[in-house]
Amino acid sequence: MNTRGAPVNVETRAKLYEGKAKIVYATNDPRLIVQYFKDDATAFNALKRGTIVGKGVVNNRVSAAMFERLERAKVPTHYLGALSDREMLCRRLDIIKIETIVRNVVAGSLAKRTGLDEGTPIRQPIVELYYKSDPLGDPMINDDHVRMMKLATPAELTWMRRMALRINRILRPHMWKRGLILVDFKLEFGRAGGRRYLGDEISPDTCRLWDRQTGEKLDKDRFRRDLGGVEEAYQEVYRRLVGTSA
């Protein structure tokens, strides 16, 4: 167990929420929650479903390693420690309903929207905003939409953009040194105790990761596009970022 100074007498209580990849549980401390990482896999707003064996372990441990690196760089996160192979102790956040995407290379929906070839480098990273709403399919929004729907204050939105680019500057070279291209990734932020934190996870589910030498996809796109070798790709990311086999 690695709780990094977090309370050791935390007890898991009722299920608060079950999403596509995680279950969130309350604890005996109202300020804390436990995230349980599942092997369930979904794509295209849950229209495609399946199972990636061992995914929950990989995503929990990779997320823990990335959160710890970010914390060392003074990025505030909800992460307090890994309780088990699949469980993570976190601060309980009021999640801001905006998914923040950072893009370093053209891929996925950006290629479809722009007509640019997948793999085209982006000289200056792009930050995109999406409304976090499964019923609406997480549509892309802009600052005016955020203001109209009162999803975040102007100060919060400025902080989120700045923090997203800062996280990119930390993780991109870290992954490059381990033979991975950080193509793009999704972040979620939230509020707790008057402060803002990075929440959710950082894993092959939420990042596009390509092999630096071959360009091979080592992320959830292997599941989305029926490329095969999904479990092997997740294990390879785990090996490079955590250092052992899951």
CATH number, residue 189: 3.30.470.20
69 band by pLDDT with thresholds 50, 70 and 90:
very high
Q: In terms of pTM, does the model score above 0.85? A: yes
CA nearest to 98, candidates 163, 187, 162, 24: 187
| CATH code of the domain covering residue 55 | 3.30.200.20
Last residue within a domain, chosen from 49, 72, 91: 91
For 83-115, the pLDDT digits (tens) are 999 999 999 999 999 999 999 999 999 999 999
* Confidence (pLDDT) at 41: 80
Residues 100 and 213 in one domain: yes
Segments in 177-229 forming alpha helices (H) = 221-224
Residues 210 and 126 in one domain: yes
Residues 23 and 78 in one domain: yes
The structure tokens listed for 71 are 């914390």
The structure tokens listed for 46 are 């849950």
Residues 22 and 50 in one domain: yes
Last residue within a domain, chosen from 91, 114, 147: 91
The structure tokens listed for 80 are 């307090």
For 174-215, the pLDDT digits (tens) are 999 999 999 999 999 999 999 999 999 999 999 999 999 999
Residues 106 and 202 in one domain: yes
For 135-153, the pLDDT digits (tens) are 999 999 999 999 999 999 9
**Residue in the block written with tokens 């990119």:** 168
Residues 205 and 220 in one domain: yes
Q: Domain limits at 75?
A: 12-91
Last residue within a domain, chosen from 67, 91, 115: 91
**In the predicted model, what is the mean pLDDT of residues 15-25?**
93
**In the predicted model, what is the mean pLDDT of residues 14-34?**
94
CA pair distance 201, 78, nearest whole angstrom = 10
Residues 105 and 174 in one domain: yes
Whether pLDDT at 50 is above 90? no
